């Protein structure tokens, strides 16, 4: 009953998945709905920013040449001939020793080339006319934001594949992108298998546990940037599973199943892949947990047969399914971000295979520190809750001590890595 499986290295497994020709699609959404989505095209400047010379402060626009003689003992007087707020344009032709009172953001009058800040000007009325004076010499361009200073028309401002953050939202609005090209969210189908599974609202029964994997994976799918289509749990029955999987494949871009892939007698997924004529990329990986992960491809869709064990399922999703989702979101760095950190505690267990330990990554004095977030039993749901990272302990190592440098994969990060293996 123990079928033969050839275990392959993780990097090779990931590489086989990423070699599948699967592409993201683009859609066009309102800027009001674009926060948190991924750009499917480079974001270009549609105009110069600023698109006119503007005052960055409240003050008086003048001709700098008129301030040449100004100093502490020689205030220069200007007649205030106009007064404009942001959004307004003065139509006055400002001549020598004339000034326009100007508010932050307003367009500079044609003939003026500097701004005397409000705090440095003295204003007064004389013979019913407004005046101001300054005791400082101003350089041409002083206190003026020049047209195109921030960005030039046509410039690439943000690259495709970037997740839209509040700053990018501001840029989209600045450049008049009322609608934005973003990646369609991949549709990821999800099944949980196993007669041992109770639904969340059922009371516990002897021998049974509640289905938690599907809630966990749903959240992981969402965190990765895709939409979930949850098809429910499947009983441990071949024909029912087969039909359900086959039908589900018509509705999704990717299909995730949890459970049914180990060498247990009720684990049908490998047989289902065979009957579907799917090409199995691998059915065993040299890693812990998650070694029995099986991944297959059928007509450009990828089927991820993850372990039913919560930790193996969690890790398998992040290593194998997440990068495909991010690739479909046009990310140039689809994999979990990898960094180095200092191990905070001893980890004496030897690692015949590369091990992924659910961990809490923190910062102490500017340095990354990582602590395994629970006992390292692969069935312990509890340790998942505090995990924001996976510590990678390479295969063939004899254990680690506090203070050792290790690699970590960051779970809540959105920058990613190009290729962390």
What residues between 309 and 368 interact with a second copy by CB under 8 A? 309-310, 314, 339-342, 358, 363, 365-368
Does position 104 interact with a second copy (CB under 8 A)? The reply is: yes
Query: Can residue 3 be called a binding residue for a second copy (CB under 8 A)?
Result: no
Q: Pairing state of beta strands 337-343 and 405-410?
A: antiparallel
From residue 202 to residue 221, what is the string marking binding to a second copy with x (rule CB under 8 A)? xxx-xxxxxxxxxxxxxxx-
Own/partner long-range contacts of 171-177 (Cβ < 8 Å, ≥24 apart): 171/43, 172/31, 172/34, 172/43, 173/31, 174/49, 175/43, 175/44, 175/45, 175/46, 175/47, 175/49, 176/46, 176/47, 177/31, 177/43, 177/46
Q: Is residue 200 a contact residue for a second copy (CB under 8 A)?
A: yes
As measured in angstroms, the least distance from the Cβ of 1 to a second copy is 8
User: Cis omega (within 30 of 0) on the bond before 289?
Assistant: yes
As given in the structure block, the two tokens for residue 373 are 């977030």
Q: Which is nearer to a second copy, 242 or 314 (CB)?
A: 314
Paired sense of beta strands 156-158 and 209-210, if any = unpaired
DSSP-derived letter for residue 70 is -
When the beta carbons of 22 and 230 are compared against a second copy, the nearer one is 230
Residues within window 35-74 making contact with a second copy, judged by CB under 8 A? 35-36, 47, 49-52, 56, 58
Binding mask 219-258 for a second copy (x = CB under 8 A): xx-xx------------x----------------------
Figure out which of the listed residues 97, 177, 238, 421 binds a second copy, where binding follows CB under 8 A: 177
Binding mask 145-174 for a second copy (x = CB under 8 A): x---xxx-----xx-----xxxxxxxxxxx
- CA 145/CA 124 separation, integer angstroms: 27
381 binds a second copy (CB under 8 A): yes
Cβ closest to a second copy, residue 32 vs residue 74: 32
Q: Interface with a second copy by CB under 8 A: which range of 63-71, 99-107, 128-136, 182-190? A: 99-107
Q: Least distance from C-beta 279 to a second copy, angstroms? A: 27
Closest to a second copy by CB, 1 vs 6, is 1
Residue 298 touching a second copy (CB under 8 A): no
Q: Pick out residues in 71-90 that bind a second copy (CB under 8 A).
A: 83-89
Residues whose CB falls within 8 Å of the CB of residue 366, separated by 6 or more in sequence, listed in order: none
Q: Find the binding residues for a second copy in span 23-42 (CB under 8 A).
A: 31-32, 35-36
Which residue, chain included where needed, has tokens 């602590």? 371
> Shortest CA distance to 85 belongs to which of 99, 102, 100, 110?
102
Residue recorded with tokens 């390292």: 376
Pairing of strands 367-372, 337-343: parallel
CA distance 229 to 299: 19
């Amino acid at each position: 009953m123990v079928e033969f499986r050839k275990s392959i290295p993780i990097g090779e497994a990931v590489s086989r998945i990423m070699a599948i020709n699967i592409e993201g699609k683009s859609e066009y959404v309102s800027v009001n709905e674009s926060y948190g989505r991924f750009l499917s095209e480079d974001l270009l400047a549609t105009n110069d920013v600023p698109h006119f010379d503007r005052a960055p402060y409240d003050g008086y626009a003048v001709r700098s040449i008129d301030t040449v003689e100004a100093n502490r003992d020689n205030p220069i007087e200007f007649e205030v001939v106009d007064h404009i707020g942001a959004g307004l344009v003065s139509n006055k032709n400002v001549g020598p020793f004339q000034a326009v009172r100007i508010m932050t953001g307003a367009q500079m009058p044609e003939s003026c080339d500097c701004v005397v800040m409000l705090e440095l000007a003295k204003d007064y009325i004389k013979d019913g006319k407004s005046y101001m004076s300054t005791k400082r010499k101003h350089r041409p361009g002083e206190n003026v934001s020049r047209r195109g200073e921030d960005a030039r028309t046509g410039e690439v401002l943000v690259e495709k594949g970037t997740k839209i953050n509040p700053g990018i939202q501001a840029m989209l609005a600045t450049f008049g992108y009322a609608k934005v090209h973003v990646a369609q969210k991949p549709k990821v189908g999800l099944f949980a298998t196993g007669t041992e599974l109770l639904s969340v609202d059922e009371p516990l029964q002897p021998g049974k546990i509640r289905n938690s994997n599907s809630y966990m994976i749903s959240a992981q799918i969402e965190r990765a940037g895709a939409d979930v289509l949850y098809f429910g749990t499947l009983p441990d029955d071949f024909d029912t599973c087969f039909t359900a999987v086959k039908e589900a494949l018509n509705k999704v871009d990717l299909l995730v199943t949890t459970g049914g892939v180990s060498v247990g007698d009720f684990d049908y997924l490998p047989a289902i892949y065979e009957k579907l004529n799917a090409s199995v990329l691998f059915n065993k990986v040299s890693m812990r947990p998650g070694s029995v992960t099986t991944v297959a491809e059928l007509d450009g869709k990828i089927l991820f047969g993850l372990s039913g064990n919560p930790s193996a399922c969690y890790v398998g999703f992040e290593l194998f399914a997440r990068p495909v989702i991010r690739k479909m979101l046009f990310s140039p760095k689809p994999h979990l971000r990898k960094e180095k950190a200092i191990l905070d505690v001893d980890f004496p267990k030897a690692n015949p295979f590369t091990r992924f330990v659910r961990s809490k990554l923190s910062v102490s004095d500017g340095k990354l520190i990582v602590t395994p977030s629970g006992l390292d039993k692969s069935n312990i749901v509890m340790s998942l809750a505090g995990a924001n990272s996976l510590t990678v302990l390479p295969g063939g190592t004899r254990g680690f001590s506090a203070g050792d440098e290790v690699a970590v994969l960051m779970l809540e990060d959105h920058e990613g890595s190009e290729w962390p293996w």
